[in-house]
Structure 1
Amino acid sequence: MLGLPKSTEFNKRIPKQKFYDNLTVSPALKRSFVDQIRIIYWMNKIAPSTVNLAAGKAVTEIEVFLIRLNQDTLDENVLKQIDREIPYHILFVLEYDGKYKAVIGYKEASGSGKAAFKVDRYYQTAWMNEEELPVHLEGLSIDAVYENFVRQVAGDMLMPGEPQESLKKSVERNDCMEDLKKQIDKLQAKIRKEKQLNRQMEMNTELKKLRRKLEDL
């Protein structure tokens, strides 16, 4: 899968019950696993032991999971649950009706002691043919491969704002941009509904400030 070296192949089917057969999983989440997922395969293991890469400082290995779906949508909470259960970084490949989608979370060490990692957000491609997925093994270390996977899947969303910008900073900058866009949309809606001219002018001034902040990012 994804043109990855044969040495990384794992090809193990994982019972989906493994991820929801515990007391902490809500009935709604369990239902998402049952209704939305057909089969889960652990396809590849990318690590210094399986491919000629230097060990990473933040990423020890990357797993590639193929999830065959019963529909063309998947509850993001399902991915979060799998990410919580597996103490490694995961690249998900979703398959439905002959089309494929790559999904990956920006996964950091939790620091809370309750879980190995936390996932702030997920990035995904559009549905496409498997050979069109923009995911390639690039980099000299596991850390670099993971960063490239995230950037490849996210595309323009995580284009570096400056040379050598770290992945963490790119993610934070993108999150800030998304937040500003939401604020702008919300303020524009308020302006359209506002009847008083002086209030419209005040909000337009604020709107210009938000747009400048977005441009600066």
Structure 2
Amino acid sequence: MEFFNLPVRTRVGKVVPKNAFDQSTNTKQKKIFADYIRRITWTHKLSPDTINLNSQDIEEIQVFKVELKIKSNILKILEIINKSIPYHIVFWVEFEDHAYISASMKHPHPTNNNISVIDWTFNSAWFKKNENKINLTLKGSLDSVFKDLCVKITGKPELGRKSMAAILQNQEEIKSLKGEIRRIKSAITKSSQFNEKVELNLKLKKLEHQMKIIE
């Protein structure tokens, strides 16, 4: 299945051995690789010489297909792979007839050239493979291709007008607010004092209002 309908000249089709990441994994993580992952395939390479687009900060975009034995988001495993490879990666993760897409903004580690630092990871929800609506639009530069994909994953097309730095800040703010909302809700449930509950509910309404503004 050509899940992103990419040009033939971008195809790689190389199976990546799971033990290729042994140096980056502990015993528990190696077991997850073995128990959860059926196959990892480097399917496509997007670069100036394969799609004739310029690059700025992003030199290449690699597309990996990860076939699972067990339906799971395996986010920690994707992070290990991402840190081990210097280029930006788009993961197509599939189990039977369902899939999800994951992509991370990252930058080189300041003192270790062998690993990357993950800035933020964009993950789609699971969807039926034949109903995928998230595609790679090969326009502009490699940077704009990757940014466009990340915006599509968020489901908020209005973010396309913002810089990548502003998008990452937006996602961080949402994550922080969601965490604070969960904390306040938990405190309300645990509280037995009326006045405290009132105060916490006021804080909750304020946070929920902030969430509506930035989401």
Q: Mark yes or no: TM-score above 0.5.
A: yes
**For residue 134 of structure 1, what is the aligned residue in structure 2?**
134
What TM-score, normalized to structure 2? 0.87
**For residue 111 of structure 1, what is the aligned residue in structure 2?**
110
**For residue 51 of structure 1, what is the aligned residue in structure 2?**
51
What TM-score, normalized to structure 1? 0.87
Larger deviation, residues 11-20 vs 132-141 = 132-141
Pairwise mapping of residues 34-183 of structure 1 onto structure 2 (< 5 A)? 34-54=34-54, 56-113=55-112, 115-125=114-124, 126-130=126-130, 132-156=132-156, 159-160=158-159, 164-183=161-180
Secondary structure, counterpart of 2:102 in structure 1? strand
Secondary structure, counterpart of 2:205 in structure 1? helix
What is the CA-CA distance between 1:130 and the residue it aligns to? 4.3
Distance, in Å, in 2 between the alignment partners of 1:115 and 1:135 is: 30
Distance, in Å, in 2 between the alignment partners of 1:191 and 1:98 is: 41
Runs of 4+ in 1 over 4 A off after TM superposition: none
- Which amino acid in 2 is paired with 1:151? V
Segments of structure 1 that go 5 or more residues without pairing to the other structure are none
- Which amino acid in 2 is paired with 1:167? M
Segments of structure 2 that go 5 or more residues without pairing to the other structure are none
State how many pairs are aligned.
211
Distance, in Å, in 2 between the alignment partners of 1:67 and 1:181 is: 29
**For residue 186 of structure 2, what is the aligned residue in structure 1?**
189
Cα deviation digits, residues 88-140 of structure 1 (max 9, x gap):
00001112213332211222343344555211343222232246241122321
Cα deviation digits, residues 51-107 of structure 1 (max 9, x gap):
1211x2210000001111111114212111111211100001112213332211222
Larger deviation, residues 38-47 vs 172-181 = 172-181
Q: 1:123 to 1:201 in 2, by over 3 A?
A: same
RMSD across aligned C-alpha pairs, in angstroms?
A: 2.1
